[in-house]
Amino acid sequence: MVQLPSAPIPRVWRYYMVGAVNTLFGYGVYASLLLIGLQMYMAQVTGHVMGVIFNYFTYSRHVFQAAPASKLRFLLSYLLNYFVGLGSLALAATIIASPYLAGLLAMLVTSIINFVVLRRHVFTPASLETALTQRAIGRENVDHASL
């Protein structure tokens, strides 16, 4: 059985480095949409959808590259992430008058939850073990076929 460390410092570091790029992208979309006059919650949902697509590629290539992702679980995790972000945004908007700062605070809160969900439920050691087993079976079939 393949064992991966639960969240080694380098992976957490890469997560937040890539997350900084992802946040700049998502927040840039959100702030740009606010700037052109889109309502705060419409800007948030649009930025979130665009961010999900962008984040899938950056996290799978730069943070969790050793563990294959479940696309369905990734989408479900970001659906959960959206509702956590929406709740965080609504709460932050009651405390902070600026929709720009409220959006930034909501993103910071959801990033912690997002890492845990991605690490434990999307890019899992179990999916890595399955991928390695499938590769081994594929190689074994090729080896037997050549005899």
What is the secondary structure of 46-101 as a DSSP string? Answer: HHHHHHHHHHHHHHHHHTSTTS---HHHHHHHHHHHHHHHHHHHHHHHHH-S-HHH
Kindly report the pTM of this predicted structure: 0.59
- Averages of pLDDT over each 10 residues, the chain, 147 residues: 52 81 88 93 89 85 72 85 89 92 87 82 62 48 46
Q: Are the beta carbons of 7 and 15 closer than 8 angstroms?
A: no
- How many CB atoms are located within 10 Å of the residue 34 CB? 18
